[in-house]
Amino acid sequence: MDWFHWLNLAGVAVCSISGTLMAYQKKMDGFGVVVLASVTAIGGGTLRDVMLDLPIFWIQNTDYLYVTLFAALATIIWLRVSVRFPYHYLLIADAFGLALFNVVGLEKALLTGAPMEVAIAMGTITSVFGGLIRDVLCREVPLVFNGELYAITCIIGGLCYAALFAVGLEALWCGIGALVTTVLLRFAAMRWHWQVPVFKQHS
């Protein structure tokens, strides 16, 4: 399934860029950049594979490590010639990484024979866990907790996948539908500050 492999590589690259941008914002040294780019790129997938009792994907195929380092290096070179920190690029990279890993996690769970409900959960875990580690290491409130729709966009994207799968579409088109749904919802949440309030606000 070549498209699945390339989708996974794209997710790793985008999340590595996201981690490198955060490292730049926090003025980390070279080792800090590598650590932050790596945990963002492979953290969620590592947890997924452990939970599914599968070989860790980046140990089984070292292409993911090379892509992580290459994406981080390319971002460093770009930032050295940039005049200001592009925070909106961090959010954009994070949104695309969220959507890509959502599909990757969901598909990988389904390939193991997991039910759709578990697959949706695995997609969400794959998407959010790397960014959560990144933000915790940087002493930031994780994006998954800070108000705007984040993990919920993955769940809705997973439900879109399930709906398309139920009507008989091929996995590729189900994945495309889930990816587009997830990224557009995340962009909309950032643009219009969509939230799911639980507690009543007091003055």
Classify residue 200: in a domain, yes or no.
no
pTM of the model: 0.90
Decide: residue 84, CB within 10 A, 0-12 exposed, 13-18 middle, 19+ buried: exposed
Q: Which of 2-6, 129-133, 192-196 has the highest mean pLDDT?
A: 129-133
Classify residue 27: in a domain, yes or no.
yes
Classify residue 202: in a domain, yes or no.
no
Classify residue 102: in a domain, yes or no.
yes
Classify residue 147: in a domain, yes or no.
yes
Classify residue 199: in a domain, yes or no.
no
Residue 145 sits in which domain range?
2-192
Mean pLDDT of 2-8: 84
Query: Could you tell me the pLDDT band of residue 148, with boundaries at 50, 70 and 90?
Result: confident
Classify residue 197: in a domain, yes or no.
no
Classify residue 180: in a domain, yes or no.
yes
| Residue ranges of E strands in the chain | none
Residues contacting residue 74 through CB under 8 Å, at least 6 positions apart = 17
